[in-house]
């Protein structure tokens, strides 16, 4: 059984050229990492997070009740080193965003799901159940406005590496 990564709000982007958000559990968010430098290895010791292979047990998707759109799920992992690239970047140690160009070149679209604007908190539960991925999980919510809440239950999918200088 997978571990809950807990809910995370994903802001809307206008179209398929918008950035994707790399998913990590709440305990591995960038604010908790002690090493968030562009250079690797870091000058000081610290924790570096990495997206890796895993399996989605289930995923809960909840719309904001006002805005409809399309949620895309990608099998893609950003890099843990190097400067953030223009257009949203690919560096998940410094940030959570992946550019559309990076995702297209290095990832695979797993699927899309319509998020409807019907009623507050309209939830779609257990979408993308029992889905393996090789590189990491990222999502993009395509809509004119709003947010969608994504709460995956995942086996694996990330690692924290302690780097010592």
pLDDT computed for residue 124 by the predictor? 55
Q: What's the number of domains the chain is made of?
A: 1
Report yes or no on 75 lying in a domain. yes
Can the peptide bond before residue 41 be classed as cis, meaning omega within 30 degrees of 0?
A: yes
CA angle 105, 161, 29 (to 5 degrees): 70
Question: What pTM was estimated for this model as a whole?
Answer: 0.86
Average pLDDT by stretches of 10, the chain with 165 residues: 87 94 84 59 73 93 90 89 55 75 91 80 66 96 95 93 77
pLDDT at 32: 64
Where would I find the H helices in 14-125? 100-106
The pLDDT score that the predictor gives to residue 92 is: 65
Tell me, what's the pLDDT at 75?
A: 97
The domain containing residue 159 runs over which residues?
A: 3-32+45-163
Query: In this structure, is residue 38 part of a structural domain?
Result: no
Report if residue 115 sits inside a domain.
yes
Q: Give pLDDT, residue 96.
A: 82
Q: How far apart are CA 143 and CA 120, in angstroms?
A: 17
Other beta carbons less than 10 A from residue 113's beta carbon: 16
Other Cβ atoms within 10 Å of 31 Cβ, number: 5
Look at residue 129 and tell me if it is in a domain: yes
Q: Is residue 40 part of a domain?
A: no
């Amino acid at each position: 059984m997978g571990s809950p990564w807990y809910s995370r709000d994903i802001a809307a982007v206008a179209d398929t050229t918008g950035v994707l958000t790399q998913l990590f559990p709440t305990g591995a968010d960038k604010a908790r990492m002690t090493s968030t430098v562009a250079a690797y290895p870091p000058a000081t010791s610290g924790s570096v997070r990495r997206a890796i292979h895993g399996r989605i047990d289930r995923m809960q998707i909840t719309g904001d009740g006002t805005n409809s759109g399309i949620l895309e799920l990608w099998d893609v992992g950003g890099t843990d080193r190097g400067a953030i690239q223009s257009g949203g970047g690919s560096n998940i140690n410094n940030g959570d965003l992946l550019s559309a160009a990076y995702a297209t070149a290095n990832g695979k679209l797993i699927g899309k799901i319509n998020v409807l604007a019907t009623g507050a908190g309209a939830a779609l539960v257990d979408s993308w159940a029992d889905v393996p991925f090789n590189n990491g999980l990222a999502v993009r919510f395509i809509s004119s406005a709003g947010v969608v809440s994504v709460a995956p239950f995942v086996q694996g999918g990330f690692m924290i590496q302690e780097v010592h200088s």
